[in-house]
A and B are shown apart, each in its own frame.
Chain A
Amino acid sequence: MLLQGFLKTVRKIYFSHNLVLWLILLVLPVGVSVFMLGLFSSQIVQHVPIGIVRQDDSYLADRLESKLRSSPVLNVKMICHDMGECEHAVIRGELQGFLVLPNDLERRALRFESPVIPVYSSGQNYLTNMFATKEIRAVLSAAGSEMFTAQMDDPVKTEIHSVGNVEGNYQGFLGLGLVTALFHLAAMIVGVYVASFPLRDHRVREMLGYARGSRFTLWFASVVPMNVILWLGMIGCYAYSHRLLAPMTLNEFVMTAAAQLFMILACSGAGIVFVGVTGVMRIATGAAGVIGSPAFAFAGQTFPVMAMPFAVRCFAFVLPLTHALKIQSMMLLGDLSMGPAWEVLKVLIGMALFWNLLGAFLMSMRWKQFARREAEFEEKMRTAPEASA
């Protein structure tokens, strides 16, 4: 009986030509995730457009220019007549930076006067500016050391390794975080939709009817399929974005998948609480959007939580995304992080439980209230013609 009611309610909620629900439940989160990963398909920053102001026409200046041109990271797009020309090109967005090969560069270098080469970067694009200035420094330093001390190696060489993201690709860095952030938002929006569309369409009594009058069954029929579908969608997108990184072990996979499941449960539960509090889909969706959309900015993947003000750190702690991302990044480091990751997972489990229990309680009240209202409205509609007759 209970199972029949459950299955019938699931069918009515999820398979009764509800296009918008499937759009926000599956098509958009998966589609946007794949789109975002495609956006970073070139993986590393290359061909950063730069300009050169050539005030010196010497052999050394020619050599430096050709070395800069041969770098795969840089693209010498413009040779400017003066600094103003390059500066305007930076303002127009055509160049990310430029350098000046000053007058008498070669002559002064040969006289050991150490002529300074000024390098100007726009500062408006963190990533391209960082890569461009690093590469210009590397190219020019290498050229400089070849001038007088070609036979002498630098005593110290450094190698920077990104643990868990060996290639240091942008897709690895950001892709995983963005996929998680998208599903974090999706779970809130879907939670709002599933809980509120019977209220909006005045179908609470109908839904309770399918669930054989049990609010418990209606709750499970509403919540279980959406969480399972979102979770599976997220695991698929995460695996797709993870393919460029080192493969996961089974333990790491289980831990990551568990973190994602509890994040989705917590977020959908929070979405349901918004509906329980407001009772209106529009306002609850707005609230989910206001909290969920910028969550990625607070979650610590782009800008570290430790560098944020205390109040913001508290807000970041409340977001399930922060903890899910923390577990995901811990798992990049391998099995060593399993112990600390359990501690974080406990927080996520607590959040999932809290939001779902609160959501269940509030929705139970709302269903009761709306069912009564629908019954009163029906009664009024029935008695109105009789009265007028």
Chain B
Amino acid sequence: MIRRLWKVAFAEWKLMYTDPAAVLLLVVAGVLYAFYYPTPYIHQTVTKVPVAIVDMDNTAMSRDLIRMASASQQIEVKAVYSEMMQAEEAMSRDEIYGFMAIPENMEKDIRSHRQVTVNIFTHGAYVMFHGAIGTAFSTCALTLGATNKVKQIALSKKVPSAKAIAMRDPFPLSIQTLYNSTGGYANYVVPSVLVVILQQSLIIGICVLGGSRAHRRFRKKMRNSPVENETLPYRYFGRSLAYFVHYCSFILFYHCIVYNLFDFPRRGELLPMVVFSVVFLASTINLGMVVSQVFLRRESSMQLFLYLSIPILFLANFSWPSYLIPSWMVAVSYILPSTFAVPAWLSIEQMGGDIYDVAPRLYLLAVQAVVYLALGLLLTRARDKVKLDIGDM
């Protein structure tokens, strides 16, 4: 029995490596994307964002604020203007991505204990710039305010400066990032994308190779081979075995090489990794086997699934939290392995979660695998019986 299964698996591998479209999807895409996606984010964080300052006060205090902003790592002060219009024009020319407006009479107002509002303007189209510029300018302006407040407290309450500092901020915060200590963008985006790449390339690859149906039309020459005429269970499980082993090697490749090369956190333990690989691949392969029975042409799956990659990624709770997604969309997302696989993979590999931490998601993946297995067998059986005159599957 095992020999028959392996025979089918070997035949599938041979087909996989001799079909250019299958090679592109099942081999090249998995390797290429692993390097292609992380490369833009190799510097991880945004530094030295070009910005400007509009100094309408022109006092010693405003110059202090400008010096502070110039020393910030996240931004680079390209120019100091005296009018807002000049900064707006520079932003429209893409020379700067934000600016801080120091109001007129800032120093005078602060010294006379009146609150001053410092406005920070960022380019509305860039979320990363918005965060970096907003944080850098706010920190400088609030530090200036804090220094002055400490002075005010010390003078008005007649206390030493150490006590004044404690009175201004009685319980300071220490913010720490647990599983992405550098705050790198690649650490956050790439691991999730890698799981989606595995899923998408595997499903499309299975569809391009016709799933487990007998007498694949595009293999006219092989129609009489014993492997193509195997009984359904051997055909189904033998071909699944080929994809399973092939994609296990991809998971190993990502874990051992890609994660090391790009220095992503690698905290995965063996047991949860193995269980994850088994249930995730089982679920994805069976979904591929189901979907492959729907298409009449080999490239149709590619055309459909290429469009779905972006929504699939966002439905995986990777960027936009699932509790903010409309409930019907959450329900739709339950049909996709990535919905559970992406958070499970992050828990295991990035956060070092144990098997108990990820068990609920792995159960759901296992349930998907069983449902898709039953559906895949049924659909393949139905497709084997139907004689189709159109298409190349």
Q: Which residues of A contact B (CB under 8 A)?
A: 20, 23-24, 28-29, 32, 35-36, 38-42, 45-49, 87-88, 90-93, 96, 105, 109, 112-130, 133, 136-137, 140-141, 144-145, 147-149, 152-166, 168, 170, 172-174, 176-178, 181-182, 185-186, 189, 193, 245, 280-283, 285-290, 292-294, 296-298, 300-304, 306-309, 311-312, 316, 325-326, 328-330, 332-334, 336-337, 339-340
Please list 15 pairs of residues, one from A and one from B, whose beta carbons are closer than 8 Å in the complex, sorted by A's number: A35-B329, A112-B167, A116-B172, A124-B180, A124-B346, A133-B175, A141-B173, A158-B119, A163-B91, A163-B122, A189-B303, A290-B32, A308-B39, A333-B91, A339-B93
Which residues of B lie under 8 Å from residue A125 when comparing CB positions? 188, 318-319, 321
| Contact size range, B | 35 or more
Max chain B Cβ within 10 angstroms of own Cβ: one of A115, A156, A283, A307: A156
Is B118 positioned at the interface, with any CB of A under 8 Å from its CB?
yes
Contact B47 A39 (CB under 8 A): no
**In the complex, what residue of chain A is closest to B325 when comparing beta carbons?**
A39
Query: Is B115 interfacial (CB-CB < 8 Å)?
Result: yes
Residues of A within 8 A of B40 (CB): 297-298, 303, 308-309, 312, 316
Residues of A within 8 A of B89 (CB): 336
Residues of B within 8 A of A127 (CB): 127, 319-320
Q: Which among B121, B152, B175 is the interface contact of A161 at CB below 8 angstroms?
A: B121
| Chain A CB within 8 A of B283 CB | no
Separation of A283 and B208 alpha carbons in the complex (Å): 11
Q: Are A112 and B310 in contact (CB under 8 A)?
A: no
CA distance A10 to B131 in the complex (A): 49
Closest B residue to A166 by beta carbon equals: B124
A-B contact sample (4 more), CB < 8 A, given A114-B171, A124-B350, A298-B40? A91-B352, A140-B173, A148-B170, A285-B302
Q: A45-B324, A123-B178, A304-B46 are in contact. Are A32 and B302 (CB under 8 A)?
A: no
- Chain B residues contacting A155 (CB-CB under 8 Å) are 110, 113, 115-116, 144-145, 148-149, 152
A297 to B41 alpha-carbon distance, docked (Å): 9
Would B118 and A156 count as touching, CB distance under 8 A?
yes
Complex contact B173–A32 (CB within 8 A): no
B contact residues around A126 at 8 Å (CB) = 185, 188-189, 319
Q: Does B370 contact A (CB under 8 A)?
A: no
Kindly state the separation between the CA atoms of A20 and B351 in the bound complex, as whole angstroms: 43
- Of all chain A residues, the one with the shortest Cβ separation from B344 is A93
Query: Which residues of chain B are within 8 angstroms of A340 by Cβ–Cβ distance?
Result: 92-94
Nearest chain B residue, comparing its CB with the CB of A41: B326
- B137 with A158: CB separation less than 8 A: yes
**Once bound together, how far apart are the Cα atoms of A29 and B311, in whole Å?**
12
Given A159-B120, A294-B37, A337-B92, A285 and B303 touching (CB < 8 A)? yes
Q: CB within 8 A of A118: which of B174, B188, B297? A: B174
A173 & B125 in contact (Cβ 8 Å cutoff): yes
Chain B hits for A152, CB < 8 A: 149, 152-153, 156
B99 CB to closest chain A CB (Å) equals 10
Enumerate chain A residues within 8 angstroms of B29, measured Cβ to Cβ.
Answer: 286, 290
Q: In the bound complex, do residue B118 and residue A157 qualify as a contact, i.e. CB atoms below 8 Å apart?
A: yes
**Cβ of B141 and Cβ of A156 under 8 Å apart?**
yes
Cross-interface CB contact of B299 among A182, A282, A297, A325, cutoff 8 Å: A282
* B174:A117 contact, CB within 8 angstroms: yes
Chain A residue at smallest Cβ distance from B156: A152
Q: Are A282 and B208 in contact (CB under 8 A)?
A: yes
- Chain B, 85-123, CB within 8 A of any chain A CB: 88-89, 91-94, 97, 110, 113, 115-123
Name the distance in Å between A10's Cβ and chain B's nearest Cβ: 21
Known: A173-B127, A283-B20, A304-B128. A120 touches B118 (CB 8 A): no
- Neighbouring A residues of B124 by C-beta, 8 Å: 162-166, 168, 172-173, 245, 329, 332-333
Taking A155-B145, A186-B307 as contacts, is the C-beta distance between A170 and B173 under 8 angstroms?
no
Residue pair A294, B36 in contact (C-beta under 8 Å): yes
Within the complex, which residue of A117, A285, A292, A336 is in contact with B88, where a contact is CB–CB below 8 Å? Answer: A336
Contact of A109 among B25, B122, B170 (CB under 8 A): B170
Q: Known contacts A90-B351, A127-B320; is A121 also within 8 Å of B127 by CB? A: no
Among residues of A, the one whose C-beta sits closest to the C-beta of B305 is A289
Establish whether residues A93 and B33, one from each chain, have CB atoms under 8 Å apart when the complex forms. Answer: no
Known: A117-B172, A173-B124. A161 touches B309 (CB 8 A): no
In the bound complex, do residue B33 and residue A307 qualify as a contact, i.e. CB atoms below 8 Å apart? no
Determine whether the beta carbon of B317 is less than 8 Å from that of A307.
no
Whether the Cβ atoms of A163 and B121 lie closer than 8 Å is yes
Q: A24-B307, A32-B310 are in contact. Are A124 and B188 (CB under 8 A)?
A: yes
A114 touches B126 (CB 8 A): no
Q: Could you tell me the distance between the alpha carbons of A20 and B93 in the complex, rounded to whole angstroms?
A: 42
Q: B326 to A38, Cβ gap below 8 A?
A: yes
- Over the window 124-156 of chain B, the binary record of Cβ atoms lying under 8 Å from chain A Cβ atoms (1 yes, 0 no) is 111111110010011001101110110011001
Query: Is the Cβ of A149 less than 8 Å from the Cβ of B128?
Result: no
Known contacts A156-B141, A158-B118; decide if A303 and B169 are in contact (CB<8 Å): no
